Structure 1
């Protein structure tokens, strides 16, 4: 039986080559050269159109190429009776924290002000607030969110965190559930979204959230496009409830050329680049689970469909 791979092209042919080296005894096929659909027992998929998996009647295992799996679960034909595994990279969280810290400092130190002033050839001095006076709220306190919150706290920021369930993180004031959401937002000046996308978190980046923050706040979202109510983000930026936003993941990618996000003042678009698993981790994680599957052993990093991650 064969393995079919539909992979991210960021690594070119290096990734499929490394998978073949890591699993030398397997029949590895790269889409679109799938061959007989009945041969396919395992699929490793980056992104797929709805119904992509339907032809593979003998499929027994599906693997994501990264940590996020919400886009797979949007497919109404996704075979939820089969195990879905994801890639968990220990350094993935560190790279995400690097991304968030870069943009926190950009917005805290108001780098946009100086860039605009340079264009005008203007010597535009500003007094900066110390980090201890800036309250940052991190939504999502899993592997990525917890590390990000700890790093921000270590730099002296006033950090608070919010998640579905209670957490304890040194140096971080933690809130949980709907009951704690309003209190979490009340003082949050820079809101960081690192939540998984679930039915409960879909659309959470909306006017109902922004209006509970101090006026002139900042949004940094490296979660999922489905978290956003796009019109509410644009409205909040236009009316000053938000002074700036950095967004890395979108409902449609690449962002269409005519999308208003490109031209909205104070909005910074990055091309879903906040963090990626390393080539080595992708291969090691996938190959390890294939070996476990062949040996009838428990799989690693298996997705809980009820939780959505």
Structure 2
């Protein structure tokens, strides 16, 4: 999973990736069960109370692989497999890296995941009359759901929602509304291209507010509260926010390509599938070129 570019015999550059969390977990062989975080061995059942955890790294992954090999080979029914390649951890050299150094924190997925979780919790407590008013206020403030994502909010819409908790009819005293307002400060201070204010304080206040909601701690909430600060302080230049390594550009490109592909879409079994796909790529590249 680590892409290593050799610049010279004595200089190696580590390339980091921006992944969808599920895709990253799949690539690393991490099951999205009790320990779903790709950056640490976090027990999801303990929620935000789990503060001491072991960071995941390529060394940790190699150790787990070796253990599995040994367990597999201990059964005489199995055909023995070679696991010598991971016995000497030091021999792996540059591969001994923290996964946080390899995988950027996907701020868009955190924004949508945490924001939608709190949004759903707030809406669930509102009366029918309040919901009608809420929908009218969303429309008045040009906040719309995306048909492409099954009626969910996209990034820009969710950013507006986090900033307009009171203006869109949410009950102010609701614990989830308070948590959403606290989350908006996290978004404002460190989800952009540059750090704007005290993001560490914003994250601390969000964590305290989220605990009061009584909601289960999702993986994305855990990442916000436990991994954003160390990622920014260790792996980003001073003053740079998560937006600088965001996956939003790729998400937007994917959405635009889907719209173009609809004009060429056909079954993969057809002979002209490859040609249609190539033409779709040419068109989206041309559109991107003339728009720059």
- TM-score bracket for the superposition, by shorter chain length: under 0.3
Higher-helix-fraction structure: 2
TM-score when normalising by structure 2: 0.27
TM-score when normalising by structure 1: 0.26
Higher-strand-fraction structure: 1
Q: Which has the larger radius of gyration?
A: 2
